[in-house]
Chains A and B, each alone.
Chain A
Amino acid sequence: MQLLTVSPSPHIRSSMSTQKIMGLVILALLPAMISSVIVFGIRALLLIVFCTAVCVLSEFVCQKLMKKETTVQDGSAALTGVLLALNLPATLPLWEAAIGCIFAIAVVKQLFGGLGCNFANPAITGRVFLLLSFAGDMTTWVKPFYYKGLSFGEMLSSNGNNAIDALTSATPLASGDAGLLDLFIGNVGGCIGETSALALLVGGIFLIAMGIISASTPIAYLGSLGVLSLLHTLISGGEMSSVLYTLLSGGVMLGAFFMATDYVTTPITTKGKIIFGIGCGILTFVIREFASMPEGCSFSILLMNLLTPYIDRFTMTKPVGAKVQEKGEN
């Protein structure tokens, strides 16, 4: 007879764990990663692997320096790395990418207390940081399949290479000249992971089906952005297809399914998630239409991250059987 364990109930736990959740999200990003490698070549793979490694290493070093328990095995740093890489243009120099990764993990995540304590999405903040710091490199887009005819070394290299410079094109969001089908399957320029709406949709639906993310956020986000752009089209008298163009181009798909659904930095209740999604949709529309920047997805999610504590406060659940406050509304 061994010693009996005495512990409070419940005595069974579900099989879901933080590690499994992070793993499933990375798995859901696999179609986007594959399409990025197909469209932008070996350089995309290099960026993904490099960013993931730098993020994991940064987390490890931070925790060692702060004498905290090492938690890189939970997969959250790896996920940040993958997400950040998918938000970068194919030709970004590796040292710049590394700075983005270190900023995301060390400053945005670990300085605020690590997983669960950061108020802003590390990958998004890392991207915005890079965009402000290296505006040129971060907005240099290569055409799809630019790597055809290049040698292996040229494929791996970044800017400074004349052959690539000649191939740069504006992102379709800025130029507005891509076909809808090309946008849907990803045959356009842009950040490596955000071009194929199809691949992102497959991953997003997988996450919803697995119960990892709530469908309410992407529906509210894409829905509100769609409605606003429809209204805009009706008022300005443009073509109806521009609504689809808005939804499929830029980082909206990646943002709606993978960034605006981050547990830590978005509201906890379904009502809160809907408000968050609508807020992202409105901000994205406003930035795209009225601001000087072509893309507003990252900024809109980052701004809504800041509002999350307030949304949480106003979307508390009403417990069953709770007495209604005398002066409160029902």
Chain B
Amino acid sequence: MKRLGGVKLSHHKNTENCSSQKLPVPEKVRIPMSMHIGAPCSPVVKIKDIVQVGQKIGDTDAFMAVPIHSGVSGTVTAISDYRMSNGRTCKMVEITTDGEQSVSPEVKVPEVTDKDSFLKAIRQSGLVGMGGASFPACVKLAPKQSVDTLCINAAECEPYITSDYRQMVEAPDEVIDGVRQVMKWLSIKQCIIGIESNKPEAIRILKEKASSYPEIKISVLPCTYPQGAEKVLIYNTLGRIVMEGQLPADQGVIVMNVSSVAFVSRYLKTGMPMVQRMLTVDGDAIKNPCNVIVPMGTPVADVLNFAECEIDKVKKLLYGGPMMGMSIQDINDPVLKANNAILAMKKSQSPKSSACIHCGRCIQACPLDLMPPQICKAYEGKDVEALQKLKVMLCMNCGCCTYVCPAKRPVAETNQFAKAMVMASAKK
């Protein structure tokens, strides 16, 4: 079968054998009221309020949003502004912990009897896509289109990150149960779990666990980045093409991250909302690379100290992997729901770019067969029509083009500027 390509990367899965450990309760957490794509929440607590683990501290009536809960017990000590990575601001609740970690009486096993009550429970759980996109799960799981396939993203194609892998190896039953719950309540007939071939242990365990459920299949994928990109995953596991402007649901598919689906299982059993997550801490400035379970809003500095980071040597901090992760601006920024990793690098590579030599490596590397050099020319000439013909809006910013460019040009970045130009002209 033809598969969409990409680039081969060094895996650096240094933490694949590091069992998850719990981070000691941090002194303070600072929880932003937006850890999802969509409308931010408003705080439902006031300064000096006492909060407990699992208690709701932010909510909104907006459709595209999920509530925010506290992962610690303690006292609200400040409500301030937080600048999100997209440049906008939202409120942020600071909680000084008491170390008790007493559980809130709000935490109750949800009653799920049909699709509506299931979706309501998912919204109340605060679940967002845990692979990095932070899309509200309650919105994703309620498409208007009819869906026949649940596709589980267990590719974990970014270097360093092993938090999904640890989830699969440590608690495979949660994965299978979560899959079955989603399939049951949304009446989805089949499920396909896509895993890169560099995780033989996870493949073996999940195949064994899924053997009694013929509707769940495991698809072993080659180790090419970006195997876990939604469109690439859907094509490589199902052979379906998500056309421009379409959502996966238009092709009858819902894609969920493997850790997200495992969370669904845990939530339906315990009622504990999304207040903590497992993440990988790695990078060349980290002496003790590990997988840690961290309450939301924990300052990045606390996580780095736990992993024995040489903080004075760090030049670059990342939320997520090196290919699509985001630079962290401040060492005290909080851990967010979608952070599957924190990477601390001693080097900050900003190589000088030189002239394009038309080698075509970016075109070869692009999983979607876009033509970055032509896009760059059209962008420089402010030719919106040409950009639309070149289908620049398909670009998912996977970064393969920038990665391979021998002239070290900011290829993917230029594509994003070009996309912004097309969108700006559409608004006129």
Contacts and interface: CB of A to CB of B under 8 A. Distances in A.
5 contacts: A5-B327, A8-B327, A13-B408, A74-B354, A321-B394
Interface string B351-380: 100111111110100011111011000000
Interface stretch (A110-118, A149-157, A161-169): A110-118
Contact of A269 (B360, B368, B405): B360
Interface in B224-250: 231, 235, 241-246
A145 interface: no
A9 B325 contact: yes
Contacts, number: 153
A303 B331 CA distance: 58
A67 interface: no
Given A9-B326, A323-B244, A17 B408 contact: yes
B408 A11 contact: no
B314 A263 contact: no
B76 to A, nearest CB: 28
Given A10-B323, A11-B322, A115-B355, A4 B407 contact: no
B354 A71 contact: yes
A268 B391 contact: no
Given A5-B327, A116-B355, A268-B363, A317 B371 contact: yes
B64 interface: no
A5 B359 CA distance: 29
Given A5-B315, A14-B404, A263 B359 contact: yes
B402 A317 contact: no
Contacts of B370: 317, 319
B315 A4 contact: yes
Interface in A74-89: 74
Contacts of B350: 5, 7
Contacts of B68: none
Contacts of B356: 116
Interface string A309-324: 0000000111111110
A235 interface: no
A18 B317 contact: no
Interface string B313-356: 11111100011111111110000000000000100111100111
Given A12-B403, A268-B360, A319-B391, A7 B327 contact: yes
B354 A18 contact: yes
Interface of A is mostly: loop
Interface string A204-237: 0000000000000000000000000000000000
Interface string A90-120: 0000000000000000000000001111000
B412 interface: yes
A64 interface: no
B397 interface: yes
Contacts of B421: none
B252 interface: no
Given A21-B359, A319-B391, A4 B159 contact: no
Nearest to A76: B357
A5 B360 contact: no
Interface string A106-146: 00000000111100000000000000000000000000000
Contact of B369 (A71, A116, A318): A318
Interface of B is mostly: loop
Interface of A: 1-2, 4-14, 16-18, 20-21, 71, 74, 114-117, 263-264, 268-269, 316-323
Nearest to B416: A8
B357 A13 contact: no
A322 B317 CA distance: 36
Interface of B: 4, 7, 9, 159, 231, 235, 241-246, 311-318, 322-331, 345, 348-351, 354-361, 363, 367-371, 373-374, 390-391, 394, 397, 399, 402-408, 410, 412-413, 416
A105 to B, nearest CB: 15
In the A-B complex, the 4 residue pairs with the closest CB atoms: A10-B399, A5-B348, A116-B355, A6-B327
B358 A116 contact: yes
B403 A14 contact: yes
Contact of B330 (A4, A71, A322): A4
A115 B400 CA distance: 23
A320 B408 contact: no
Contact of A320 (B4, B312, B363): B4
Contacts of B330: 4
B242 A321 contact: yes
Contacts of B315: 2, 4-5
Contacts of B361: 16
A320 B369 contact: yes
B211 to A, nearest CB: 33
B394 A6 contact: no
B374 A2 contact: no
B404 A16 contact: yes
B403 to A, nearest CB: 5
Nearest to B325: A9
Given A6-B327, A21-B406, A323 B368 contact: no
A17 B331 CA distance: 33
Nearest to B312: A1
Nearest to B324: A9
Given A4-B314, A10-B402, A268 B358 contact: yes
Contacts of B406: 14, 16-18, 20-21
A13 B351 contact: yes
A74 B407 CA distance: 10
A12 B263 CA distance: 31
A121 B226 CA distance: 36
A317 B368 CA distance: 10
Contacts of B390: 316, 319
Contacts of B316: 4-5, 7, 11
B324 A317 contact: no
Contacts of B408: 13, 17
B235 A320 contact: yes
A320 to B, nearest CB: 5
A116 B356 CA distance: 6
A115 B9 CA distance: 29
B178 to A, nearest CB: 29
A316 B378 CA distance: 14
Contacts of A74: 354
A320 B231 contact: yes
